[in-house]
Structure formats: C-alpha cells, structure tokens
Structure 1
Amino acid sequence: MNAEFIAMLDYLERERGIKREILLEAVSNALLSASKKSVSASRELRIDINPKTGEIRALANLIVADKVTNPQDEISETAARRIKSDAKVGDIVEVEVTPKNFGRIAAQTAKQAMMQRIRQVEKEMIYEEFKDRAGEIVSGTVRRFDRSDVILDLGKFEAIMPQRERVVVEDYNVGDRLRAYVVAVDNGIRGPEIIVSRSHPNFVRRLFELEVSEIADGTVEIRGIAREAGYRTKIAVWSANAKVDPVGACVGMRGSRVKNIVRELNNEKVELSLAIGKKGQNARLTSRLTGWEINIQKDTSATTAVEQKVAQAAQALSAALPISDEQATTLVKSGFTNLEGLRDADVQDLVDVLGIDEAKAREIHEAVKEPEPAQ
C-alpha cells in the first residue's frame, strides 16, 4: 500500500498538477471518518500520513486515569507510562490506535478519496485557468460527440461546442483539429464548462485581429460585424489614419490575409464591402450590421476616393482581360489591382478569387502574360 500510495501521489503531482498536500488532506479526512468505526479509542482522533514513506497511523489523545471506565477516552497510568515515562493521572497522552486491519481499509478509502478530490480539484483548475479567457481563440481536437454537441480536447481540459454554436455546413470527425472562440466559462452545479463556438461573429473578429497587424495595433478598427455562419460574413472597418486603406489592410497583398481567414472558415465568403446579395443575404447582414434599415450614405471624401480608385483599376483590368466588370472589381478588392500584380498570381488564385473553372482561369492567366499594346 505504502509504495503504491507514494507512487500515485508523485504521478498526480507531476502529470496532473495536483499538489500532494491537497490529496493528503483529502485522504486523511476520509480515513478519519472510516477509522472511527474500527478503532477502540477515538478521543480527539487524527490520522497521520508520512508524506515520504506513505505510512498511515491513527492517533488518539487519551486521558490518563487511575481506573479506566471509558476505553474510548481513557488509558491506564501503567499503559501511559510505556508511552511517556513521566505520565500521571489527568495527563493527556497521544496513543497510536491503528487497527490491525487498517491497511485494507486505508487502501480502499484512500483510492476513493483521491479520485473524488481529483475530480473536484480539476474542476477548480479548469475554472481558474479559463475564467478570464472568454473572448479568446483556442485550439483543440475533436474527442467525442454528446448527442449533437462536439467535445473538444484542449490538452488538460475539455470544451463543449453546443449544437447552436456549430456551423451548419461544417462536418466534424473524431480527431479533427479545430480552432474555436471561447464564448463563456460557466461554473454551474455540474462544475465549470468551457463553451466554445465556430459560428459566433466574434470568432471572425478575433481571426482578423490575429491576422491583421493594423487591427491588432489599433490603426484599423472593426466597427461592426454580421455573420451568417458558413455562408457569408460582412465586416465594417475604419481607420482614423487617412493614409491607411482599412479594407486593403484587411485583404492583404494579393488577398493573402483574407485568404488565411477564409481557409480557417472553410471557404465562407468574407466581404469588406456592402452590396445586394443572393436571396437577400447581404441585405439581412447589412441591416444587422448597422441596426437600421438599409439606407447607406458615404460621408467622407477618403472613402469616395478609395472607391474611385477601385473603379478605375477595375475598368483597366476589364478592358485588358476577357473578364466582366464585376469580375474585375472582385480582383481589385482581392488585392490584384493591376496586370503586374496578376502576373505573379497562379491559375489556382484566379479560381479561388473569381469562383470560375480552371479553363476560364487559364484563359485569363494567358491574357495577363501577353504584352500590353503600345499606347
């Protein structure tokens, strides 16, 4: 029992991060309750556990009596002097009262007490670790499913992604690696629960904050975000710095930044502009984003200037390439603002950005390579 007990304490302290003192206290309290039923003397009973050897003893403070009338509380003067040579009637002497079968009782009780205390401590550790982490993005592996809820393994802890927080078009399998947004850490009756989401609008917000340095340092602000998870997200961005194009900063060179985010969202469409979309999606998103009926007016010359530049660049591309005006605008907003930039792109870039087949993408790619006509 002793060697096994110490080995278990070492393992739990090393691998689970549970302090030895906490477990020893739990075991001691459990053994105290169990031993009261089997010891002959139990006045001021206590359990002593040697943290190095694992030796367990039951000790009681007994009153030295000239004649023992209550064995539960008293000890004879003769017996007391075998423990303490100068003991006399009326003294209190600590006596070992460990029962003969205590090893079996201790082993069973200690195991039960440790398991119960481990569960309590781990729940406390989960809450302490995550109580201030709501709003962060965490990474985990799909461990199992609880009905329609996804249980993620975060390492030492588990998180729950309820059905309402799932993306309807995403399928998850055991072993899949996922990133998710921590919605809340609830400390309920059943213990703390880490609630995560992949459908929450702030999941996209946090992805942009991690991907776009201008958002991280405050140069560009996300003023509003609306999302139909799995289909489309609209984001309103703004910058107090007139020299910074907030949309361009979020898109990145040749769409590199927004591509990383779209990849994380499993090709969900991310828009940094407002337009009327299929089946009214954009209209609903825009209304949700602004909180008003759609009646949008630009009020800054800087925004107008950016739109003019986008229109001019799109016009130049549509005139030089076999693409529509809408496709040209999409290319510009994705970071391909001129033919020179498109020459560095590959066919797959055009397929991804324009949503066209590979044959059409190759046609455009070949046209980009052709020299521009002399003016």
Structure 2
Amino acid sequence: MASELLDALNLLEKEKGISREVLIEAIEAALVSAYRRNFNQAQNVRIDMNLENGTMRVFARKEVVEEVFDPRLEISLEDARQINPNYQVEDIVELEVTPKDFGRIAAQTAKQVVTQRVREAERGIIYSEFIDREEDIMTGIVQRQDSRFIYVSLGKIEAILPANEQMPNEQYKPHDRIKVYITKVEKTTKGPQIYVSRTHPGLLKRLFEIEVPEIYDGIVEIKSVAREAGDRSKISVHSDNPEVDPVGSCVGPKGSRVQAVVNELKGEKIDIVKWSDDPVVFVANALSPSKVLDVIVYEEEKATTVIVPDYQLSLAIGKRGQNARLAAKLTGWKIDIKAESEAREAGIYPRNEQLLTFDEDKDTEEEYTID
C-alpha cells in the first residue's frame, strides 16, 4: 500500500503540477473527516501517516485542565501526569484512538474528499497562473459558441468571449486560432472564470508590443490608444531618444510591422501619430490624415478649436464623425473642427500669432495611416 500511495502521489505531482505536500494535506484532512463521520467523534484529532510502511494512526488531542468539562476535548492534570509527570495545565496530550477497521473505512470515505481537494488545488494553480495574465494577450483556439458567448481554449482552461467583446467584422469558427486580450479573471464555485476580448484597446497595444521590439524594450512608448474595433484605431507614440523615430519604428520596413497588426485585426485601419505634451501639436497630429491650419486651446475647458482647409473639413471630421471622435479620445481634449472660411468669418483665424501651420502640398512626418 505504501509504495502504491507514493507512486500515486508522485504521478499526480508530475501530471497535475500539484505538490506532494498539498496532496498529503488533502489526504490527512479526508481521514479526519472519515473518522469523525464514521465513529461519531467530535474530538480534536490528528492523523499520523507513515508513507514508508503505509500505516495510518489517529491521535486525539486533549488540553490539560484542572477540572474537566468536556472529556472529548479535555483531560485532567491528574490523568495527564499518569501518562507523563511533566505535563502542565494548558499542555496538549495526544492519545492514540485508531479504530481496528479504520483503514478500510478511511479508504472508502476519503476517496471523494481527496478528489475534491485535488480538483481545488488544480483550480488554485490555474487561477494563480491566469491572474498574472490579466491585461495580457494570449493565443487561443475557438471551441464552440452559443447565443451569448464564444468559448476559447487557452490550454488548461476555456475562456469566455462575450458578444460585446467580439469584433463586428469577424466570423469565429471552431478550431480558428485567435489572439485575445484577458480582461478579467474571477474565482467562482466552479473554478476560475476567464473573460477575454477582441475589441479592447489593450489588445491593440499588446499586438504592437509583440511586433515592435522598440516598444517591448521600452525605447518607444505607446502613450494612448483610441479604438473603434473592426473599423479604425489611433495610437500615439513617443520616444525619449531623439535618434529614434517612434512612428517609423511602429510602421516597420515597408509597413511590415503595422501590417502584421492590421492582418491580425482583420483589416482594421490604424493611424499612428507622434505624441506631444503640447496640446496644439498633439491635437493636430491626432487628426491625421487631415491637414490642420491652427489649433486654439482653451485650457480651463480642456477644449480646442481646430481650423482646417475647407476641402479638408469632411476628412478631418471623418465618416460619421469617427476621425474627430477618435482624436478626442486619443488626446483627452474636446475638439471642435471649423473650416477655414468659417473661421475667417468668425474672426478667429488667422490670429496675430499663428501657432501652427502646415504645408498643404505634402504629408506631415508626424503621422502614419494605414488603410
């Protein structure tokens, strides 16, 4: 029995990744439960397991007291000193109470408890592994779907992709490999529950970290992300190294790096713009690919008025206001866009001191857009 038990513990440790100490604790707890249930005992007991010879012994633990009120939990000082004259009040005396047929009953009763404890330990290991992966990206395999969720296998566990986290332009089929962003890891009565997303801005950020070594190494930093999943996104990037072009680093040779991200997101358009701590420059860059003539900043309202050439007005606003909306999310500033002619009539353009001008015949080097 001892060798079989040792072999079983070693096998579970190897296959399930659960330490032998955890399993031994589970067995001991199961034996205590079996003893109390089968022999109607409420006393404090300890199980002594000898894995070398396979013996299991039960010891009742009793506190030494002057006057005994509960003989199941207490023993008088006089009786304790008959066992060992050195015992004092409040010491703990252990008395062996192993029943004759305890081994057979314990084996039968403990099996279910041990299985449950092993399952709990497995769940704990999975939870510990995935709680560290929150806000991270993983590759999963689509397993199945119902009316509410798509279930994605992440290896040891199946994650949930809710309907509102699915990209509208994607079709998910069983066995498809997709990259997902882990948004939340929860403990439940049925084990860890992992929620993932394909629409979260964090997915875009993590994809660029994978594709752009300069971001992974911290040379280039993604300052902000604005995303309307499946349609268009904007990211702002910055580098403290003046010799590094943050936009060019994200674009990659012949656009290879950003194209890899676009392919993973099934053709989602991405604007890459250079971040600036000057809201005038940052807002102008964020409205890429449109040209900007001037940006008027209202610090107290955290708002801006942007002047663009008349022929660029629709481009600056974007389809259904998308370009302006994403630029506002990216910068954190409210953006009101006005055509040049309208601004001239209102007397707000040109100003005496022009803050920002662009050569309308060429693109700014501070932005990159991939369609």
Tell whether the structures are fold-level matches, with TM greater than 0.5.
yes
CA separation of 1:39/1:97 partners in 2, compared to 1, >3 Å: closer, same or farther?
farther
Partner of 2:19: 19
How far apart in 2 are the matches of 1:284 and 1:242?
Answer: 30
> Which structure is richer in relative contact order (CA contacts within 8 A, separation 6 or more)?
2
How far apart in 1 are the matches of 2:169 and 2:245?
Answer: 33
Deviation at 1:222, TM superposition (A): 2.6
Instruction: For residues 250-297 of structure 1, give each alpha carbon's deviation from its aligned partner in whole angstroms, at most 9, with x where no partner exists.
Output: 221111111111111122222223443334332332233233124499
- Residues 6-45 of structure 1: pairs in structure 2 closer than 5 A: 6-39=6-39, 45=45
The question of whether the paired residues in 1 share the 8 Å contact of 2:141 and 2:175 is answered with: yes
Deviation at 1:170, TM superposition (A): 2.0
SS at match of 1:34: helix
Partner of 2:201: 201
The question of whether the paired residues in 2 share the 8 Å contact of 1:161 and 1:195 is answered with: yes
Instruction: For residues 29-87 of structure 1, give each alpha carbon's deviation from its aligned partner in whole angstroms, at most 9, with x where no partner exists.
Output: 2221222344599976432323345443444579xxxxxxxx999xxxxxxxxxxxxxx
Identity, % of aligned pairs? 43
Counterpart residue identity of residue 100, structure 2 = P
Structure number having the greater helix percentage: 1
Normalising by structure 1, report the TM-score.
0.63
Instruction: For residues 223-247 of structure 1, give each alpha carbon's deviation from its aligned partner in whole angstroms, at most 9, with x where no partner exists.
Output: 3221111122122334455554433
CA separation of 1:95/1:135 partners in 2, compared to 1, >3 Å: closer, same or farther?
closer
SS at match of 1:293: strand
Normalising by structure 2, report the TM-score.
0.64
SS at match of 1:36: helix
Partner of 1:108: 108
CA separation of 1:299/1:202 partners in 2, compared to 1, >3 Å: closer, same or farther?
farther
The question of whether the paired residues in 2 share the 8 Å contact of 1:39 and 1:99 is answered with: no
Deviation at 1:5, TM superposition (A): 4.2
How far apart in 1 are the matches of 2:218 and 2:196?
Answer: 26
Structure 2 stretches lacking a partner, 5+ long: 63-70, 74-80, 85-92, 273-287, 291-314, 341-353
The question of whether the paired residues in 2 share the 8 Å contact of 1:6 and 1:53 is answered with: no
Instruction: For residues 151-185 of structure 1, give each alpha carbon's deviation from its aligned partner in whole angstroms, at most 9, with x where no partner exists.
Output: 33323344333332222222223332222222233
Partner of 2:309: none
How far apart in 2 are the matches of 1:165 and 1:41?
Answer: 54
**Structure 1 vs Structure 2 CA RMSD:** 4.0
Structure 1 stretches lacking a partner, 5+ long: 63-70, 74-87, 313-329, 335-352, 354-375
Partner of 2:329: 288
User: Are residues 1:46 and 2:46 paired?
Assistant: yes
SS at match of 1:167: coil
Deviation at 1:204, TM superposition (A): 0.4
CA separation of 1:246/1:89 partners in 2, compared to 1, >3 Å: closer, same or farther?
closer
Counterpart residue identity of residue 27, structure 1 = I
How far apart in 2 are the matches of 1:38 and 1:255?
Answer: 72
Partner of 1:372: none
Deviation at 1:26, TM superposition (A): 1.8
CA separation of 1:89/1:285 partners in 2, compared to 1, >3 Å: closer, same or farther?
closer
SS at match of 1:175: coil
Partner of 1:228: 228
Counterpart residue identity of residue 115, structure 1 = T
How far apart in 2 are the matches of 1:117 and 1:124?
Answer: 10
Counterpart residue identity of residue 199, structure 2 = S
How far apart in 1 are the matches of 2:217 and 2:72?
Answer: 72
Partner of 1:258: 258
How far apart in 2 are the matches of 1:12 and 1:147?
Answer: 37
